[in-house]
Amino acid sequence: MRVVALSGGVGGAKLARGLSRELAPDELVVVCNTGDDFEHLGLTICPDLDSVVYAVAGLADEARGWGRANETWNFLDTLRTMDGESWFQLGDRDLAQHVQRTAWLRAGESLQEVTSRLARAHGIRHAIVPMSNQPVRTQLETANGWLDFQTYFVRERAAPVVQALRYVGAADALATLSWPDASDGLAAFVICPSNPYLSIDPILAVPQWRHRLQQRQAPVVAVSPIVAGDALKGCAAKLLREFDLAVNPATIANHYGDLLDGLVVDQQDAAFAAQIEKLGIAVLVAQTVMRSDADRDILARAVLEFAATIDVRQS
Ligand code: FO1
* 67 in contact with ligand 1, CB cutoff 6 A: yes
Tens digit of pLDDT for each residue in 2-39? Answer: 999 999 988 999 999 999 999 999 999 999 999 999 99
Query: Which atom in ligand 1 lies closest to the alpha carbon of residue 47?
Result: 13
Which residue's CA is the nearest one to ligand 1's atom 1? 154
Query: Which atom in ligand 1 lies closest to the alpha carbon of residue 90?
Result: 10
CA-to-CA distance for 302 and 194, rounded, in angstroms? 18
Which residue's CA is the nearest one to ligand 1's atom 13? 47
* 197 in contact with ligand 1, CB cutoff 6 A: no
Tens digit of pLDDT for each residue in 61-116? Answer: 999 989 999 999 999 999 999 999 999 999 999 999 999 999 999 999 999 999 99
The mean pLDDT value for 232-257 works out to 95
Closest CA to 90 of 105, 79, 103, 101: 79
For residue 315, what pLDDT is reported? Answer: 65
Tens digit of pLDDT for each residue in 101-158? Answer: 999 999 999 999 999 999 999 999 999 999 999 999 999 999 999 999 999 999 999 9
The mean pLDDT value for 273-290 works out to 97
Closest CA to 2 of 205, 120, 200, 177: 177
Which residue's CA is the nearest one to ligand 1's atom 26? 9
CA-to-CA distance for 57 and 35, rounded, in angstroms? 22
Which residue's CA is the nearest one to ligand 1's atom 25? 9
User: Quick one: CA dihedral 225, 228, 233, 236, positive or negative?
Assistant: positive
C-alpha 62 to ligand 1 mean position (Å):
13
The mean pLDDT value for 205-230 works out to 95
For residue 183, what pLDDT is reported? Answer: 53
* 91 in contact with ligand 1, CB cutoff 6 A: no
Which residue's CA is the nearest one to ligand 1's atom 3? 154
C-alpha 69 to ligand 1 mean position (Å):
14
| Cβ-contact 307, 187 below 8 angstroms | yes
* Angle between helix 92-106 and helix 47-57 axes, rounded to 10 deg: 120
For residue 1, what pLDDT is reported? Answer: 83
CB-based contacts of 271, cutoff 8 Å, min separation 6: none
For residue 314, what pLDDT is reported? Answer: 76
* 90 in contact with ligand 1, CB cutoff 6 A: yes
* 50 in contact with ligand 1, CB cutoff 6 A: yes
3-state secondary structure the chain: CEEEEEECCHHHHHHHHHHHHHCCHHHEEEEECCCCCEEECCEEECHHHHHHHHHHHCCECCCCCCCECCCCCHHHHHHHHCCCCCCCCCCHHHHHHHHHHHHHHHCCCCHHHHHHHHHHHCCCCCEEEECECCCCEEEEEECCEEEEHHHHHHHCCCCCCCCEEEEECHHHCCECCCCCCHHHCEEEEEECCCCHHHHHHHHHCCHHHHHHHHCCCCCEEEECCEECCEECCCCHHHHHHHCCCCCCHHHHHHHHHHHCCEEEEEHHHHHHHHHHHCCCCEEEEECCCCCCHHHHHHHHHHHHHHHHHCCCCCC
Which residue's CA is the nearest one to ligand 1's atom 18? 66
* 73 in contact with ligand 1, CB cutoff 6 A: no
* C-alpha pair distances (Å), 19 with each of 6, 12, 48, 127, 305: 12, 11, 17, 12, 12
Residue 233 pLDDT grade (very low, low, confident, very high; cuts 50, 70, 90) = confident
For residue 180, what pLDDT is reported? Answer: 53
Residue 182 pLDDT grade (very low, low, confident, very high; cuts 50, 70, 90) = very low
CA-derived radius of gyration, the chain: 19
Query: Which atom in ligand 1 lies closest to the alpha carbon of residue 36?
Result: 24
* 153 in contact with ligand 1, CB cutoff 6 A: yes
Average pLDDT of the chain is 95
